[in-house]
Amino acid sequence: MGVFHFTGSRGRIRAVFSAAVLAGAIGAAGALPGTFLTGYAGTGADQKAASGAASAVSASDLPAGVTAAEVKITDDMKYAGNSAIKSGSAILYRNRDGAHGSTVVCVNAGHGTKGGGSAKTLSHPDGTPKVTGGTTAAGAVKSTAVSSGMEFPDGTPESSVNLKTAQLLRRELLKRGYSVLMIREGSDVQLDNIARTVLANRYADCHVAIHFDSTSSDKGAFFMSVPDAMKGMEPVASTWKKSEAFGTSVIDGLKKRDVKIFSGGSMDMDLTQTAYSSMPSIDLELGDKKTDHGDESLRRFAAGAADGIEAYFAE
């Protein structure tokens, strides 16, 4: 591994990537911009991926016509310079034969970046301070690059449940003919919240980050809406109305699947993701520590979110 000094599962993930990259380079070089991955994605290893192992999955788990390619941050991408952790790769699943294949949905499994809690990034691209408090307090010019997330009462980390849900949503969207940009497919990706947003801005038509909140009241699902104090700042000024319409549509999709909804379905929050997004983008909180995170619930969340995404693009 030369200059790489990764340990444990991170080393394993890297090794799996290398094998997949090699297989792809032999089998399908030139088929796509970026690196073609054959042995990557799908069903069987989702479980393993959620528990921390690498998620190398057979290409046969992907619908026909779907290809997967690694995409990375490059310096020419807007706001790339504001990111502190950006060496990782996201996976772009192109649905060439899909009915909506030209539409790319960024599915971002929240958290899951080792070292993300100790790195800091500018809260807003223009250097202004945060207008609401969250993981980082209101007034802070710099925010946690990507926090580690909460833990469910049974000890399951939020990041694992987010990943499982994201993979179910990825599968649902590919089945319905959309293309998907998956930010994270394993327990760790070296992409902070700015890097994730930069990739979504570059490759996707919308961005949904999957989370569960840290309260313990079974409050229900909601999206983080845009606080008024952010609405005059670019790129938020050009984006927030679309993001709110997108969020409303996703919550509506969940509601129709009988998912419990918190209050009016939204809560104003100044998030790094919001501050840097140049297309419709939401942080979706599917519930909290008390919310059932069994497989059936997660499947319902994924189906409801997919319904909402579909309805948004159908308008």
Nearer to Zn ion, 149 or 247 (CB): 149
Interface with Zn ion includes 39 (CB under 5 A)? no
* Nearer to Zn ion (CB atom), residue 285 or residue 310: 285
Residue 158 φ then ψ, to 5° = -55, -40
Judged by CB under 5 A, does residue 289 bind Zn ion?
no
Applying CB under 5 A, does 149 fall inside the site for Zn ion? yes
The distance of closest approach from Cβ of residue 182 to Zn ion in the complex, given in angstroms and rounded to an integer, is 17
From the list 100, 164, 171, 211, which residue makes contact with Zn ion (rule: CB under 5 A)?
Answer: 211
Q: Least Å distance between CB 269 and Zn ion?
A: 11
Task: Find the shortest distance in angstroms from Cβ 209 to Zn ion.
Answer: 8
- Whether the CB-CB separation of 146 and 116 falls below 8 Å is answered with yes
Total residues in contact with Zn ion, by rule CB under 5 A = 3
- Which of these segments, 45-53, 96-104, 142-150, 198-206, binds Zn ion (CB under 5 A)? 142-150
Shortest reach from residue 168's CB to Zn ion, in Å: 17
Question: Could you tell me which stretch among 44-52, 72-80, 203-211, 303-311 binds Zn ion (CB under 5 A)?
Answer: 203-211
- Shortest gap between Cβ of 308 and Zn ion (angstroms)? 19
Instruction: Name the residue whose CB lies closest to Zn ion.
Output: 211
Applying CB under 5 A, the span of 109-117, 122-130, 224-232, 306-314 interacting with Zn ion comes to 109-117
> Judged by CB under 5 A, does residue 110 bind Zn ion?
yes
Q: Which residues bind Zn ion (CB under 5 A)?
A: 110, 149, 211
